[in-house]
Homo-oligomer: A and B are copies of this chain.
Amino acid sequence: MSQSDQESLANDQDDYLSNEELRQALELLFFAYRDFTGEPDVILANDGFGRAHHRVIYFVKCNPGITVNRLLGILKITKQSLSRVLGQLVREDFILQQTDPGDRRRRTLVLTDKGNALESRLTGCQSARIGRAYKAAGVDAVRGFKAVLTQIINADDRARFTGGGPHTD
């Protein structure tokens, strides 16, 4: 008996855990993420940027004064990958990078006015999409949406949402 056959039998009792239900979830995530990122990608392309720039701008906005190392921890990419993108954003005056007075090895990052303006445009269209979806689905659905998404996230990053603040350690 194959693994998937076993799963079918095991899940026959709970139809919300059936293979078909799970398969639908995979597709929902694929299409939702594709469309969720589609609009910002167009805006970014105008400035010669990509999705990676968006992520950096977003997390600097939410964590003003964040250091490069902490940003790497959130994004989980190599410093060489971040460096290319971050360097562009700093050179083109979207992000201000300053030496941390407390520990002069560290560089703190904040958005410039230019960076804030771009961040607003990017997050604006994503927020609008989510807002429309939230409104159409209703407040109870939103609770479920967040509960399931939180559980999908790996345990080590889940605390960022179940706990209190941003928690970027």
Question: Is A150 at the interface (CB under 8 A from chain B)?
Answer: yes
Majority secondary structure, A binding face: helix
User: Digit string of A122-163 for contact with B (CB within 8 Å is 1, else 0)?
Assistant: 011011011111111111111111111111111001001100
Question: Is A92 at the interface (CB under 8 A from chain B)?
Answer: no
A131: chain B residues at CB < 8 Å are 11, 17, 22
Q: How many residues of A contact B (CB 8 A)?
A: 64
Q: Which of A28-36, A65-73, A83-91, A101-109 contacts B (4 or more CB under 8 A)?
A: A28-36
Cβ of A4 to closest chain B Cβ, rounded Å: 6
> Which residue of the partner chain B has the closest CB to A126?
B26
Question: Is A55 at the interface (CB under 8 A from chain B)?
Answer: yes
Q: Is the CB of A32 within 8 A of B29?
A: yes
Name A residues whose Cβ lies closer than 8 Å to a Cβ of B.
2-4, 7, 11, 14, 16-17, 19, 21-36, 38, 55, 58, 62, 76, 120, 123-124, 126-127, 129-154, 157, 160-161
User: What 3 A-B pairs have minimum CB-CB distances, sorted nearest first?
Assistant: A144-B144, A133-B151, A141-B144
